[in-house]
Amino acid sequence: MIAHTGSLNRCFIQWAQSLVSDAGGGATISFDGKTIRSTGKMDGYKSPLHIISARLAEQWITLARQTVDGKSNEIPAMRELLELLDIEGRIITADAPRCRKGTAKAVIKDKGDYVLNVKDKQPMLKEEIAGYVQDTQLRGAMDSHTMCEKTSGRVELRTAYTTQDIGWLYGREDWEKLSCIGAVNTRCTSKKGTSGERRYYISSRGLTTEELPRYTRFGEDFRRIEDRNARQNLNIVRKIALNTIKVYKTKTASKRPISKIMLDCLLEPENILSVLNINEN
């Protein structure tokens, strides 16, 4: 089941779209899914609900979101959001679960470009790209760029590889306007030790080795807030939201737990109006 986008959500999307316009060209819209684990224990839900969000990556602005019942519905939900958003000239990034041929086709249809993370959902594609990148001679012919970042006792070394020489790639014609493959090799060193990871990507745009890490980094940044000021600001916002909910609960004499009221607002944006209006009176 896919929750239908309500009137408030549509107004929110229209308002957020104006912010996209103000951002100018080259904006990146990143799609990300999050599981609401608490719903898995609630009556009426066979499995936890999921929220898929579309964010203007450069400005950390949420443009739209859709609630779905079950991870299997995230793909059609993403495509519904694509239809609602103006993505012309934008880069659309998505992690492995949303790396689908239909997604690529939908993005190109709406005049955007895609950068998709390839993993086990596309085993043959992943094997083809991984084999190419891991071949020393072939990798040597790819464009490459290495960058180092140090934050809070953590040193992260990233090496990106890209190539538009993909005539050898089996099934490339199944991916709408596929023109580039790439990989990002990440090695992190901290007090806990050293770990490494290599990710593979496909794109409809010919990306440079400086562009690939920038576009693909956005999705990771949404899951990890390392900047001290950002954490402090987020903590303040959470406290404001919690205080607002407490006032609403007191004025309405609601018997629902605060956590359930917050969940109501998360699942249905129209409920936010009720909370805000009661606080204005």
pLDDT digits (tens, 9 = 90+) for 23-54: 444 588 988 877 766 555 555 556 667 788 88
Q: Which residues face 145 on adjacent strands?
A: 160
So what's the pLDDT on residue 192? 87
Q: What pLDDT is stored for residue 226 in this prediction?
A: 42
Alpha-carbon 163 to chain mean position: 24
In a domain, 99, yes or no: no
Q: DSSP letter at 164?
A: -
Tokens of 153: 């006792």
In a domain, 136, yes or no: yes
Domain that holds residue 81: 1-86
User: Pick from 202, 199, 200: which is nearest to 171 by CA?
Assistant: 202
Question: Are 241 and 183 found together in one domain?
Answer: no
Return the bridge partners of 68, or none: 2, 50
Number of domains the chain contains: 3
Q: State whether 26 and 82 are in the same domain.
A: yes
Helices (H), the chain: 7-23, 74-84, 101-109, 123-134, 136-140, 211-223, 228-252, 258-267, 270-280
Rounded Cα distance, 135 and 201, in Å: 17
User: Which of residues 86, 107, 136 is at a domain's end?
Assistant: 86
- 104 within some domain: no
Q: Do residues 206 and 266 both lie within one domain? A: no
- Residue 139 domain flag: yes
- Residue 253 sits at φ, ψ, to 5 deg, of 55, 35
Residue 91 lies in a domain: no
Domain identity same for 125 and 220 = yes
Stretches where the chain sits below pLDDT 70 are: 1-26, 36-48, 69-72, 218-235, 269, 279-281
Does residue 125 contact residue 118 with C-beta atoms inside 8 Å? yes
Please indicate, yes or no, whether residues 218 and 151 belong to a single structural domain of this protein: yes
Same domain? 63 vs 124:
no
d(CA 14, CA 34): 23
Together in a domain, 56 and 134: no
160 and 69 share one domain: no
Residue that terminates a domain, selected from 177, 206, 224: 224
**94: nearest Cα among 67, 123, 122:** 122
User: Is 111 part of a structural domain of the chain?
Assistant: no
Q: Which residue has the tokens 């100018």?
A: 24
Provide the CB-side half-sphere exposure for 73 (13 A, CA): 15
Dihedrals phi, psi of 15, to nearest 5 degrees: -65, -45
Q: Cα–Cα distance between 252 and 272 in angstroms, integer? A: 14
Between CA 277 and CA 246 the distance in angstroms is: 14
- If asked whether residues 247 and 275 sit together in one domain, one would say yes
The reply to whether 121 and 220 lie within a common domain is yes
The verdict on residue 105 lying in a domain is no
Last residue of a domain, one of 181, 207, 224: 224
Q: Are residues 136 and 219 in the same domain?
A: yes
Q: Are residues 146 and 80 in the same domain?
A: no
Encode pLDDT of 236-250 as tens digits. 777 788 888 888 888
Is residue 101 one of the residues assigned to a domain?
A: no
> Residue 220's domain is classified under what CATH number?
2.20.130.10
SS3 for 247?
Answer: helix
